[in-house]
Amino acid sequence: MTAYKLLINGELTDGAQTMDVVNPATEQTLAVCPRADEAQLNEAVAAAKAAFAGWSETPIEERKAVVAKIADVIEANGAELAQLLTSEQGKPIADATGEVYGTAAFFRYFTSLDLPVETIDDNEGRLVEAHRKPLGVVGAIVPWNFPMILMAFKVPPALIAGNTVVLKPSPTTPLTSLRLGELIKDIVPAGVVNIVTDANDLGAPLTAHPDIRKVSFTGSTATGSKVMAGAAGLLKRITLELGGNDAGVVLDDVDPKTVAPALFQSAFQNSGQVCIAMKRLYVHESIYDEMVDELSTLANEAVIGDGLEQGTTHGPLQNKMQYERVVELLNDAAENGSIAAGGEVPEQPGYFIRPTIVRDVAEGSRIVDEEQFGPVLPVIKYSEEADVIGRANGTDYGLGGSVWSSNLDRAYAVADKMEAGTIWINKHAELDPSIPFGGAKQSGLGAELGQDGLKEFTQLKIINMARAS
């Protein structure tokens, strides 16, 4: 087995303890990896703090060059990283490959941005400028569903803005992050990027650490609330990208056969383990039965299996805890609705659940009201447009949503009334590094990606100078 190491102050080091990483397709131990203790976390933060002065004073073009080299090394080792990603996360190898090369592209995108001084006022009486200054040490906490690409939402903008980073990957998918640490050890100055792993026990001390100036967290709303509470004592900056229960609304003027494949992909990519996956699908009563039939056909055609096996379209759930939760919700769906396709939990090793379509279900059932984060889609019938908008908005979440129609004006009017950070029309879950992304309501705070995402890693500083009279 590969000997994985933490990255602290430019050195690869063993953890205070070790922990097993399980392949979710086999339930067998994939690797033994280091587990940091709080003392090692403190070492990582101290290293990042010590490195901050030099890194923040490094010209931005030189910082960009380092970030570009990280993108190069990810691309150069893309095949290896993709195989490792599939092995620890479960997704099909084609999807893992897309994530790895997408990660390199996101790193490279941020090198195209700048933080120029903006002149607010310039006259005989005064000069007023807006500067963007780095914050200090950033704690970046990344989940298990997209461990590479979501890291790329955080690390490159933090670095380009002049901050240093302590990265904490999920305990169940730490290997790609640790391997990346090994690959960039000699590219990034010591202490500028540190990578520590835990068993879900270092999130609180990382968040509350007095030398962490900002926390960027992607994960569940419940954990995000804890992050916010932990950061509150020192009023440190936070960006939270949290859970969602995204609604798709299909108007009565679409052809089910035409749109069903895109709807299916929107719900079942990565076996539904996507924060912005379509979690609820509202379909007008006039096309409801046909739409359920089309989606059911696609679900029955899905090939579940080990992501490294040729032909697999849907891998396992990533971990046992999530698998058991989705099984619970599947049982609730069978009691409160009707299983139109799927519903099987195969009797084999691995955390597999077949893509499942649930019909004749409504609000009040867990599968509609809760974020399932798995391969189960409730399809909900509606009759009136005003009613479906209220039902789509009737949740504490507000990450994303979508409207599907052959009439763009109709779709736009509905989208304008939906409450979420992003509403797509005739597509769902499209992310682009140049487009800001963030949640409404309990789906998050702040923005990631784009120029707005870069600014999230800075402190606005105004210089207001009186001119000589």
Residues carrying an active site annotation: 241, 275
Nearest to 174 by CA among 75, 37, 33, 39: 33
Helices 385-393 and 408-417 cross at an angle (nearest 10°) of 40
Beta bridge partners of 423: 401
What is the identity of the amino acid at 128?
A: V
Given a contact cutoff of 8 angstroms between Cβ atoms, the answer to whether 250 and 287 are in contact is yes
> DSSP letter at 173?
S
Quick count: other Cβ atoms within 10 Å of Cβ 372? 28
What is the identity of the amino acid at 315?
A: G
Given a contact cutoff of 8 angstroms between Cβ atoms, the answer to whether 403 and 417 are in contact is no
C-alpha 414/C-alpha 408 separation (Å) is 10
DSSP for 233-299, written as a single string: TTT-EEEEE-----EEEE-TTS-HHHHHHHHHHHHHGGGG--TTS--EEEEETTTHHHHHHHHHHHH
Quick count: other Cβ atoms within 10 Å of Cβ 419? 17
Nearest to 457 by CA among 159, 191, 226: 159
Quick count: other Cβ atoms within 10 Å of Cβ 403? 28
